[in-house]
Chain A
Amino acid sequence: MELRNRVKELRARYNLSQGELGKLADASRQTISLIERGDYSPSVLLALKISKVLKVSVEEIFYLEGVNENENEDDNKKI
């Protein structure tokens, strides 16, 4: 299972450049670029900061490829 993200798509929604998003989330443009390309998985802190800037939950930005939403919900119920 690989970690995927929708940072690029959500960033476009707010018409933000990588540098601008980086500045708002306290990260560099390079880090945002690495996350978008899937080269680097951000720390929990940075993921939370990005989700706050993009006004969505962390799960809406970051998800595991190969795991469907039902499975996630089942897991949540078990917990």
Chain B
Amino acid sequence: MKMKMKMIIKKYRNFIIVMIISMIVGGILGGVSDKISKMDLSFGANMSEFLFKALFAMSLIITIYLIVTIIYIKSNYMKVDLDNIPKVLNRKVSNAILLCTIQAIIGLTWDAIVINKSFDDGPLYLILVPTIFIIIAASLLTTAMRYFNYLYPNRKMNLFENGAEKKYFDKLDDGEKWVTYTCSYTTFNKMQMVYTVGLVISILLSMFINISIEVPILIGVIWIIQNLIFSFESRKYEEE
């Protein structure tokens, strides 16, 4: 009986430790939150203005870096031996494609924030600023892809083609597909952790400041959708 108990404790040791720590931290936070009067962090005009400036600075830095990178690629890509593409150039091209994508996402989020704030009573012309950054990111992405297509003629990408990502994936060889599989699986697993941490942070912060209920709902919904997609996709391959 004692042995069995010891084995159970050993098996679930880490889980028990984490639970005990969580209970203590939860208790402390609960006690503290009761004593501190709730702050009201307004997500109104001030926050909107701050986000506008922050996203502008971020987009400007990314765009300048992208332009410098594209200039570097442009002045070097014609000189390289296509059988031995230098690591630096390879890295710069993939970095440029990644950053253009991130910049486009930032631009869309920024647009959403501006529209949300300005639709009723704000200056609607401000939508132009993020939109210009999206257009710049799209044109830089097209340029970066043109260089990529020159360096890797067997794996040409076309941003505007239907099912472009699938067609690109089909062009990869065995090893590259394996790399994609490994990276995707790691991303999936790490995103589970990101959703957990996001939800826990939103719960903890909601003890002290007013957080919109949309935040945990949105995280939860995205988390569920991701798991459903994974589950349905994997079921397709279970059939005999």
Can you list, as one digit per residue, whether each of B107-133 has a CB less than 8 Å from chain A (1) or not (0)? 000000000000000000000000000
B173 contacts A40, C-beta separation under 8 Å: no
B175 contacts A17, C-beta separation under 8 Å: no
Given A26-B173, A27-B173, A28-B173, A34 and B83 contact (CB-CB distance below 8 Å): no
B83 contacts A40, C-beta separation under 8 Å: no
CA distance A31 to B154 in the complex (A): 14
Contacts of B85 in A (CB 8 A): 19
Summarize A's interface: helix, strand, loop or mixed.
helix
Can you list, as one digit per residue, whether each of B77-89 has a CB less than 8 Å from chain A (1) or not (0)? 0000001110000
CA distance A19 to B81 in the complex (A): 11
Closest residue of chain B to A43 (Cβ to Cβ) is: B174
Can you list, as one digit per residue, whether each of A21-33 has a CB less than 8 Å from chain B (1) or not (0)? 0010011111110
Number of interface residues of B (CB under 8 A): 10
Q: Which residues of chain A from 6 to 52 have any CB-CB distance to chain B below 8 Å in the complex?
A: 17, 19-20, 23, 26-32, 34-35, 40, 42-43, 45-46
CA distance A40 to B179 in the complex (A): 9
Using a CB–CB cutoff of 8 Å, the interface residues on chain A facing chain B are 17, 19-20, 23, 26-32, 34-35, 40, 42-43, 45-46
Contacts of A17 in B (CB 8 A): 83-84
10 tightest A-B contacts by CB?
A31-B175, A19-B83, A34-B175, A27-B173, A43-B174, A40-B178, A19-B84, A40-B175, A28-B173, A31-B173
CA distance A26 to B154 in the complex (A): 11
Distance to closest chain B CB from A36 (angstroms): 11
**Among candidates B83, B174, B176, B179, residue contacting A42 with C-beta atoms closer than 8 Å:** B174
Listed A/B pairs (13) with beta-carbon separation below 8 Å: A19-B83, A19-B84, A19-B85, A23-B83, A26-B173, A27-B173, A31-B174, A32-B175, A34-B175, A42-B174, A42-B175, A45-B174, A46-B174
CA distance A70 to B34 in the complex (A): 75
Closest residue of chain A to B82 (Cβ to Cβ) is: A19
CA distance A17 to B176 in the complex (A): 18
Contacts of A29 in B (CB 8 A): 84
Distance to closest chain B CB from A22 (angstroms): 8
